[in-house]
Structure 1
């Protein structure tokens, strides 16, 4: 199916704060390898998260299992506290993505918080590629991701956001904070990345992102012989639709990719291309198309 942003509120509607009280949602998933295939082990999913059955979409890559992490709440709201844990066992492979972009509503000064914990065993592969956050006026969001990788493991992380004002008055979101820490199996820090930006800094003609609509950040971390080369990554993007920059991460951990895109379709295109490069480098086969 084709994903769309939710129906937007009329400019004549009056916004109302949610009732006080945080939602504490939890999404836990473990993947393990049995023979040639990856299967779901332990799972725990509470509101507002939802998960349907897993999908074996790649006939040529039987070890790669795809899971759609869904939400039944209509987005993120003030004081939400949502946490995820993803464990991928030795030789197992998973792709965790979302069914569509996630709207972050006006948080009325109370930050919506998301935390993600990732543990990859030897030779494991995980691509965590959620669709972008759509930051409404007043949105305030904090995302913390912590990952630990054993030897031979590969991790692809995607983090993207777009701005949207349903009333077309150019009102900014409040703030967006994102922190990523990646460590090896012994706990040694490999990569730390921090983003802390106020919506007012992106408002108006002086915005550092200019006319670009979607900002994306990616990390490809892990065994060098299972990662794309810098020359392969250099082919990402088309000048009129996307611009991308590639950085070698510290400690020889892998690659960082920053991207600006003209719209959500262009952003999805570069995310799909990077996912395909990661899968080919790790498994030697092109992945099937992920339909949304």
Structure 2
């Protein structure tokens, strides 16, 4: 079996249950969005269980011409040996908002690891908001995510990853008791010019992220990548400086990415709701600046 990253070298054993990438464990989802007349549509969808999507909805009052798509998994979370692939193809001037129906749960493991590959392709003038619900890693879970983006200079991608410390209220609590969380993001232009590559690797047994200056008492880490034209990134960064709450509930800030790729926004928070609110505040700035549209108020149950 090919080792995707060195941190996974010791987790190559096969599960005693279903084999790695076997039936029901090698999921695939391909989505293509196109601009048609006065709105964008979900023009193509290919899926392989346990991944699927609902019918595109036009329920966003701030951008009523934009399809809202919920990604659903019928498996209840990722288990050892799972291999997921998700691909987004945004055609010229297409818009879309994609999210997930619930948090992504990485279940406890005693063999191998779970992995996902994400591919984003954004043509001229395309606009994609991909804001999935948080990732919750269980004790002794191992998760590897690789995200690759090919984006035109005039396109915009807003992509968020929100990581929880674990199942905080399960039994005695599982705060940073997972084995490996590895996430890499790389981006390039359609002609192949490299923009940046970033990798987040957390191995709590090797380096205690609960130390002051890392996570401390915070339980949620949010990372939002905004790839957008330079003028938009500059305007948003002027508005979003480094901030923190006096009560110590959160801290956040935005920094420029190299090669005029855009911004990266980071937040640490005591709880999921606080992190969600801070990411939403950044999302509002982005949508208003780039698309000229507001973010509607959240539903009462959110």
Q: Is the 8 A contact 2:209 2:215 kept in 1?
A: no
**Alignment partner of 1:229 is 2:233:** no
**Alignment partner of 1:91 is 2:99:** no
Which of 180, 183, 193 is matched with 1:188 structurally? 193
5+ residue gaps, structure 1: 1-15
In the aligned structure 2, how far is the partner of 1:108 from the partner of 1:62? 46
In the aligned structure 2, how far is the partner of 1:181 from the partner of 1:163? 24
In the aligned structure 1, how far is the partner of 2:70 from the partner of 2:130? 10
2:224 is aligned to: 218
In the aligned structure 2, how far is the partner of 1:60 from the partner of 1:273? 15
Deviation track 1:167-206 (CA, whole Å, cap 9, x = no partner) reads: 2254710001111011112111111111111032346666
Q: What's the TM-score once normalised by structure 1's chain length?
A: 0.87
**Which deviates further from its counterpart, 55-64 or 83-92?**
55-64
Deviation track 1:105-134 (CA, whole Å, cap 9, x = no partner) reads: 112241100000000010000111111110
CA RMSD, 1 decimal: 2.2
Pick closer, same or farther for the CA change 1:170–1:75 going to 2, 3 Å: closer
- 1:235-246 matched pairs, under 5 angstroms: 238-240=245-247, 241-246=249-254
**Which deviates further from its counterpart, 204-213 or 263-272?**
204-213
1:39 is aligned to: 41
Q: For residue 136 of structure 1, report the CA deviation from its aligned partner.
A: 0.6
2:8 is aligned to: none
Q: Is the 8 A contact 1:237 1:270 kept in 2?
A: no
1:76 is aligned to: 78
Q: What's the TM-score once normalised by structure 2's chain length?
A: 0.85
Q: For residue 61 of structure 1, report the CA deviation from its aligned partner.
A: 2.8
Aligned residues between the structures? 277
In the aligned structure 1, how far is the partner of 2:225 from the partner of 2:188? 13
**Alignment partner of 1:178 is 2:190:** no
Q: Is the 8 A contact 2:243 2:253 kept in 1?
A: no
In the aligned structure 1, how far is the partner of 2:187 from the partner of 2:33? 20
Q: For residue 142 of structure 1, report the CA deviation from its aligned partner.
A: 0.4
